[in-house]
Amino acid sequence: MKNQTRRTFLKSGSVLSASVLASSMMSIIPASASSPTDAAQKNAKVKERTLGTGKHSLRINHGMGLGCMGMSWNRSFVPDRNNSIAVIRKAYDMGVNFFDTAEAYGPHTNEVLVGEAIKSFRKNIILCSKFGFEIQNGKFIPGAFNSKPQHIREVVEASLKRLHTDHIDLLYQHRVDPAVPIEEVAGTVKDLIKEGKVLHFGLSEAGVENIRKAHAVQPLTALQTELSLMTRDPLGEIFSVCEELGIGFVPYSPLSRALLTGFINERKKYNPNNDNRPGLQRYQEAAIKANWGIIEFLTDFGNQRGLTPAQVSLAWLLSLKPWVVPIPGTTKLAHLQENLWSASIELTVEELSQINTFISNFKITGDRYATPQTR
């Protein structure tokens, strides 16, 4: 069978991509981005997943959302603005209803972009944003946190303006602030929910103790934390507490910042002014070479089934629990389609066993971040 890497997927889908691109660029005109097709909507709902429980729940089409960070920040090049708007609107046309951004992305510019893109269909989607980092004079301060109650309120008010909306459907604390008790943070978000400015609460990279404490004050809808075939730490205690409390799990970087696509190799060049990967051990030349065995495995596994490494990776994530909703990001229409097709893939027990056996015996080289993230 033909080698089905992401590059060959793009070549084989060139005709589809061209037609999708043409229709997407037309959708930059607001009137054409008003509603998904009936077929797309029906197909998306068949694969629907739920984050959270009861009145704190959200129903997610396709079982996955669209991470928008890379359209503005931390992925070397900044794509054409109109192209990014087209991708967001095409995602909606294809039934996606879960869009993720944050004040830190840019900072601020990603929320502005997303806000413009979703104007015509805002009421039909679930919009997620985040607070919790220190931003001074328009610059992101790495490792500096700020979840003081007044700051949370200021961030929400500013985000609402940038996003052209009167509420945020799911508001995450981007990282736990060790200087502010999590109960105080949860209480502030609870007040914002009472005021109608926020509808649901989530945490990102929180540990078990903080999850329990926050949930006791304001029930959590979702925990957003890095999870992929290369980063599986949450599969222990974190997954257990989420299942116990009825909290959904949203994996960010589900393709390990593009490593699991097979598109990044040891010759990859990054723009250090707009990419965090040069400072991460896992993305150094030696680590990429050491970890290449997982790409070879995924490629061989996918070739036998007509799947790309990215599709195998996302299908594996979706197999973990029905309350897992990954948010792969992309700036390319063909990759958007590729990722969404993953929601239709059902791996057999034998196939999952084959994948799990391989990854449990494969030692990943390089940490995902320079410092611990989960608190």
Q: Is the pLDDT score of 288 beyond 70?
A: yes
3-class state of residue 228 by DSSP: strand
Distance in angstroms (rounded) separating the CA atoms of residues 97 and 263: 27
Give this prediction's pTM: 0.90
Domains along the sequence of the chain with CATH = 6-24+47-361 (3.20.20.100)
Question: CA neighbours within 13 Å on the CB side: how many for 210?
Answer: 20
What percent of the chain is helix, strand and coil (3-state, nearest 5)?
50, 15, 35
Contacts of 232 (CB under 8 A, 6+ apart): 359
Question: If pLDDT is split at 50, 70 and 90, which confidence band does 107 have?
Answer: very high
Distance in angstroms (rounded) separating the CA atoms of residues 363 and 295: 13
pLDDT at 23: 41
How many of the other CB atoms lie within 10 Å of CB of 249? 23
Tens-place pLDDT, residues 67-106: 999 998 766 677 889 999 999 999 999 999 999 999 999 9
Q: Is the pLDDT score of 64 beyond 90?
A: yes
Q: Which residue has the higher pLDDT, 24 or 268?
A: 268
In 3D, which of 196, 199, 155 has the Cα closest to residue 177? 155
Kindly report the backbone phi and psi dihedral angles of residue 223, in degrees, each rounded to the nearest multiple of 5, phi listed first.
-115, 125
Do the bridges between strand 133-136 and strand 139-145 make them parallel or antiparallel, or are there none, so unpaired?
Answer: antiparallel
How many of the other CB atoms lie within 10 Å of CB of 355? 20
Question: If pLDDT is split at 50, 70 and 90, which confidence band does 4 have?
Answer: low
Give mean pLDDT, residues 53-65. Answer: 97
pLDDT at 371: 81
Hunting for tokens 């257990």 — which residue is that?
Answer: 240
Tens-place pLDDT, residues 235-246: 999 999 999 999
Question: If pLDDT is split at 50, 70 and 90, which confidence band does 31 have?
Answer: very low
As a dihedral over the C-alpha atoms of residue 48, residue 51, residue 57, residue 61, rounded to 10 degrees, the angle is -20
Q: Is the pLDDT score of 27 beyond 60?
A: no
Q: What's the chain's average pLDDT?
A: 89
Contacts of 58 (CB under 8 A, 6+ apart): 50, 51, 52, 98, 126, 169, 170, 200, 221, 222, 248
Give mean pLDDT, residues 324-350. Answer: 96
Q: Which residue has the higher pLDDT, 39 or 303?
A: 303
Contact predicate 267/239, CB 8 Å: no
Which residue numbers are catalytic? Answer: 105
Tens-place pLDDT, residues 176-195: 999 999 999 999 999 999 99
pLDDT at 42: 62
Residues forming a β-bridge with 60? 49
In 3D, which of 148, 146, 112 has the Cα closest to residue 129? 112
pLDDT at 25: 39
Q: Which two tokens stand for residue 245?
A: 């409390």
